[in-house]
Amino acid sequence: MEQEGEEEKMGIHSDEKKLLRHPPRMGGLRTMPFIIVNEAFEKVASYGLMPNMIFYLTRDYHMETASSSSILFIWSAFSNGLAIFGAFLSDSYWGRFRVIALGSISSLLGMTLLWLTAMIPQLKPAPCDQFNYNCNSPTAPQLAVLFSSFGLISIGAGCIRPCSMAFGADQLNNKENPNNERVLQSFFNWYYAVTGISTVLALTIIVYIQDQFGWQVGFVVPAILMVFSVLMFLLGSSLYIKVKASKSLFTGFIQVLVVALKNRNINLPSRKYNNCYHQSHELKLLVPTKNLRCLNKACIIRDHDKDLNPDGSASSPWSLCTVEQVESLKAFLRVIPMWSTGIMLLVTLNQISFSTLQANTMDRHIMSNLEIPAGSFSVFMVVVLTMWVAFSDRVMVPLLARYNGRPRGLNPIVRMGIGSLLSCVAMAVAGITESIRREKAIKEGLEDNPDAVVDISALWLVPQFALLGLAEAFNAIGQLEFFYSEFPKSMSSMGYGSSEDERTSLSDEVEEESDYRELPSA
């Protein structure tokens, strides 16, 4: 009754209620605990496995340090790369709910399998012979089990991470609500806060448990967390708004390329014959841009009777595309060179395994009875990143905007450039630190003893992690703004997995800088 009274005050009558996108009993704030807990537990569980994994591979599987680092780098890259596959699968075929459920179960299976490698002696090589210093290499079946656990965890991460935030926004997105934007913004703030806390807990608590209680306990804790993650997400199934998957964006890209190739011998019309382009119903009076003009041939109407249906749609999507499809492909091709500049930053950020080995050979005591785990030093990067983002948003951006007139302070490309430069400086600092550590080890006669502790503080590693945190903050924010300013509205989900309704202050820039150009109405 109270809800009906509020609706009457807002002017929402019974006839208008039928026009609401979703019934009141679906979605809403009550679904947030299920979604945020699912994401938080997955973050704690998966991120907590990575820092110390270098020790598990070298000590229990008797792998070389270089081989172990390469395996972990590939694992991390695979987990991040599968986010594209997860987003594609959810947007084009299964929808976000099914993909997140699949990812949660896959992560649980992977962590359980990894825990079994620590519990069952036959799943890993026998301990080294302490007298003859002989160590057995892992067999093919043992490696298959280990890599299968890594693969299942990667699939889980690739399915959950790109869909979780958008799925949460689906539950709260109600355009009829005058406070819709404020509710969404509040959700995003809470989501990022929980994500940051989860990462810190993973790099401290989980790493500490592994150091103090061994792999059997250290691996079962993430597995238990994933059990709660799966259960919490599935318990809210009846309450969720489950948006159906739409047409595949990548299929549209292929169609544009195929049709443009078919029409390669057709001459482009002059600008005064713009009515020969096929426009979608949602975006009328739209003409293709001048850049990459060869792709414009994909949306040329050669014969109105043969190419179009009576309702104006294309008779065959493999013979005629819309201007929107052509412009989406152009936007995608334009950002690839700039997106590729972030590859080297990711390479520097994935040197955690070597830094963990460094910290393990250094004095990690802050006080006589307080020692930082070797795998926890990357938490300094997360802390610096979080502090800088808060400082930049509240202090630096308003000051810069006052002087240069840009709403976001610095140009996105400048931000990306600063991030890349800082990553170079971070690697230079890391090289200097390693030179000092190595020189100290040689002086102490420990160059042939990789397990010995050198008389040098591990806090020497903090500057390089702080610089990497700043580098990621600048580059990630710069890329986010750049993608939003370059991508058309139909591709907003590709700008870091956000839907069009999830835009914040960047939306004004997108409206101004979009390459789409509408003709004036008659």
pTM over 0.85: no
Strand 454-457 and strand 362-363: the pairing is: parallel
Whether 252 contacts 295, CB under 8 Å: no
Q: Which residues pair with 308 in a beta bridge?
A: 314
Q: What phi and psi, each to the nearest 5 degrees, are found at residue 506?
A: -75, -15
Alpha helices in 20-95 (DSSP H): 32-47, 53-55, 65-89
Specify whether the CB–CB gap between 203 and 47 falls below 8 A: yes
At 492, give phi and psi (nearest 5°).
Answer: -65, -30
Residue 273's pLDDT is: 60
Name the helix (H) or strand (E) containing 280: none
Give the per-residue pLDDT at 281: 67
Specify the pLDDT at position 392: 79
Residues 6+ apart with CB under 8 A from 233: 34, 35, 37, 38, 100, 101, 104
What's the pLDDT score for residue 401? Answer: 79
Question: What is the set of domains in the chain, with CATH numbers?
Answer: 29-236 (1.20.1250.20), 249-321 (no CATH), 329-495 (no CATH)
Separation CA 186–CA 181 (nearest Å) = 9
For the chain, residues with pLDDT lower than 50 are 1-4, 6-24, 285, 492-493, 496-522
Contact 191, 165 (CB under 8 A): yes
Residues 228, 37 contacting (CB under 8 angstroms): yes
Q: What is the per-residue pLDDT for 397? A: 78
Q: Which residues pair with 134 in a beta bridge?
A: 129
Name 241's Cβ contacts closer than 8 Å, sequence gap at least 6.
Answer: 22, 26, 27, 31, 170, 171
Q: What is the pLDDT of residues 187-240, one digit of tens each?
A: 777 787 788 888 889 989 999 999 999 999 999 999 999 999 999 999 988 889
346-401 pLDDT, tens digit each: 788 777 778 888 888 899 988 778 888 988 888 899 889 888 877 877 788 788 87
- Backbone dihedral region for residue 489 (phi beyond 0: left; psi -120 to 50: alpha; all else: beta): alpha
pLDDT for position 460: 92
14 vs 43: CA distance, rounded Å: 43
The pLDDT assigned to 168 comes to 86
- pLDDT of 507 reads 32
